[in-house]
Amino acid sequence: MCQFFSFVGDGHGNYLYASWADRKALLKTKKSEEADSHTSILTRAKIPPKNQERWNKYEYNPLTKAFVVDHGVDGHDHEAARNWAEALDWSAVVPALRIKPIINSLLIERKGRPSKTEIARLKKWASVWDSVRDSVWDSVWDSVRDSVGDSVWDSVWDSVRDSVWDSVWDSVRDSVWDSVRDSVGDSVGDSVLDSVLDSVGASVWAYISSFFAIKYKFDFSSAITLWEAGLVASFDGKTWRLHSGKSAEIVYEWTPRRRATK
């Protein structure tokens, strides 16, 4: 499957790609995956199949700046194609997409404890988590795919996940386990780490939502603001924590009071 953003060039400074009008039309027909198909781009432009091999086929990721020549014609200036893509007005391609650097929260250097405002944001996120739980993924995924299509979602998700997921999850997992392992058994420990995984994943998905200017069912702003401030929230089923730094040091803990049951 071709990735967002795919485009083609004839080697003479002319480039073709799926505009937002093209993408909206494909969304309506449930064929959004065709938006970034090189063959579909050429076919929509009425380039005869016998001539399509004369066109260069490229992919460019506007978030990571990665540029790939999928099929290059000898003698053509591929660096010119990269320069063209880097200067492209992305509001004409996917208006809802926010082009911004990908932040690994744990690589942000912080000093001191979380502020009162940041602690309030954690408690707000905990409230959202109580309402959303495992559907954070579903809410973000469904909203984005319905709004911009599969290839755009896949590209942003893959880019953010590859940049932050392994390092953040591994660091937070180890930090929480170091904190609780003496007080829980192995069987309980597995449950704790599963809960931590779910909560950290929810923060990542909430952060991914910030790359799209669309309306979501839930308010993810508290988790996004914490993430961009260098704080990752985790929940082990009982206690919420804020982590910061490369080793995901625990800088704040909060155990909500359980509601009395009748």
What's the mean pLDDT in 8-31? 93
Residue 262 has pLDDT above 50, yes or no: no
Identify whether the C-beta of residue 147 lies closer than 8 Å to the C-beta of residue 140. Answer: no
Residue 210 has pLDDT above 80, yes or no: yes
Task: Give the model's pLDDT for residue 187.
Answer: 47
The rounded mean pLDDT for the chain is 88
Task: Give the model's pLDDT for residue 237.
Answer: 86
Q: How confident is the model over 84-105, as pLDDT tens digits?
A: 999 999 999 999 999 999 999 9
Predicted TM-score (pTM) of this structure? 0.87
Identify whether the C-beta of residue 105 lies closer than 8 Å to the C-beta of residue 224. Answer: no
Identify whether the C-beta of residue 104 lies closer than 8 Å to the C-beta of residue 167. Answer: yes
Residue 34 CA to its chain's centroid (Å): 21
What's the mean pLDDT in 139-154? 86
135: exposed, middle or buried (C-beta count within 10 Å: 0-12, 13-18, 19+)? middle
pLDDT greater at residue 262 or residue 9: 9
pLDDT greater at residue 162 or residue 227: 227
Residue 142 has pLDDT above 80, yes or no: yes
Q: How confident is the model over 147-206, as pLDDT tens digits?
A: 998 889 889 989 998 888 778 878 887 888 777 655 555 544 567 777 888 888 889 999
Task: Give the model's pLDDT for residue 32.
Answer: 83
CA dihedral 40, 43, 44, 46 (to 10 degrees): 170
What's the mean pLDDT in 239-258? 91
Q: How confident is the model over 23-80, as pLDDT tens digits?
A: 999 988 888 888 999 999 999 999 999 999 999 999 999 999 999 999 999 989 999 9
pLDDT greater at residue 182 or residue 14: 14
Distance CA 103, CA 110 (A): 14
What's the mean pLDDT in 122-129? 93
What's the mean pLDDT in 133-144? 78
Task: Give the model's pLDDT for residue 260.
Answer: 46
Residue 246 has pLDDT above 70, yes or no: yes
The two structure tokens encoding residue 40: 């579909």
Task: Give the model's pLDDT for residue 16.
Answer: 97
Distance CA 238, CA 257 (A): 9
